Amino acid sequence: MTLATKTIGQGQEVVLIHGWGSDSQIWQAWAEETFVGYRLTFIDLPGHGNSPELAATDIAVADAWQDALLAVMPVRAMVVGWSLGGLLAQRLALSHPERVSALLLIASSPCFVQKQGWLPALEQSLFARYLTEVMTQTLTLLKSFVALQTLGSQKPKQLLKQLLPLLTDTLTTHHRALKQGLQLLEQLDLRQEIAALAMPTQWLLGEQDAIVPVALAQALPSLQPQARIDLVADAGHLPFLSSPAQTSLLVNQFLQGMNF
């Protein structure tokens, strides 16, 4: 099945991939104001927004989601990924570098779960709980996750009020897709691979992010020395919503410093 997309504008190709439990609506207004003069393709992940779920075994989820994204992407584009979307963007760039001209990774990580010697991430016990609750307490879990994303922003209550309407009835019934997304966040670990990424890369992290700790900024230079790392002050996991002007400024500084 084909993933739902929306394309607007003219110019260099930019693909935007959103995070878990959301859809492309969450950042469309911000992206239109930020990427002026570009052709933007917004993609809804499997089971999110207007995209259908994908049937895939636990082992094949990463490949199935990646193939679905590649099928609707332009031949070559800058890929902008937020959270889970950023993790998928990294994997795309590693497996198909000819398709990715540049990477812009917002509130994302090469490894979202803590492991021995890797602390700038979420605890494994949290994901274990999420994987259980996503099948039995879906709406409650999604609301809890949205609230977690708003932490660290200057107006979390206002942001929460803005985000809750995006939790559609369709999303809350797509248990398989939500579980698959959590499995990707739990299992994918690209720390040892991202040094091979040769395209221009920007990591944009919220200083108060409760999901991707800002300590990641200290770990990234040893993992991907050539990448640009920027911090958004007074922002959590949603810097493009809580601090849109500052986030746009940092993005455009990155864009002005490269040709793709």
Q: Which of 23, 51, 101, 209 is catalytic?
A: 209
Residue with tokens 């107006």: 155
* H-state helical runs in 56-211: 61-72, 84-95, 124-136, 138-150, 156-163, 169-173, 175-187
Q: How far apart are CA 191 and CA 123, in angstroms?
A: 17
Catalytic status, residue 174:
no
Q: Which of 18, 48, 174, 237 is catalytic?
A: 237
Are residues 93 and 71 in contact, defined by beta-carbon separation less than 8 angstroms?
Answer: no
Q: How far apart are CA 184 and CA 215, in angstroms?
A: 22
Facing residues of 40 across strands?
8, 14
Q: Which of 24, 51, 83, 109 is catalytic?
A: 83
Catalytic status, residue 58:
no
Catalytic status, residue 209:
yes
- If 0-12 CB within 10 Å is exposed, 13-18 middle and 19+ buried, where does residue 257 land? exposed
Q: Which structure tokens are listed for 46? A: 């499997």
- Report phi then psi at 194, rounded to 5: -70, -15
Closest-CA residue to 130 (of 83, 175, 85, 63)? 175
Maximum Cα interatomic distance, the chain, rounded to a whole number of Å = 47
Bridge-based pairing state of the strands 12-17 and 77-82: parallel
Which residues are annotated as catalytic?
Answer: 83, 209, 237
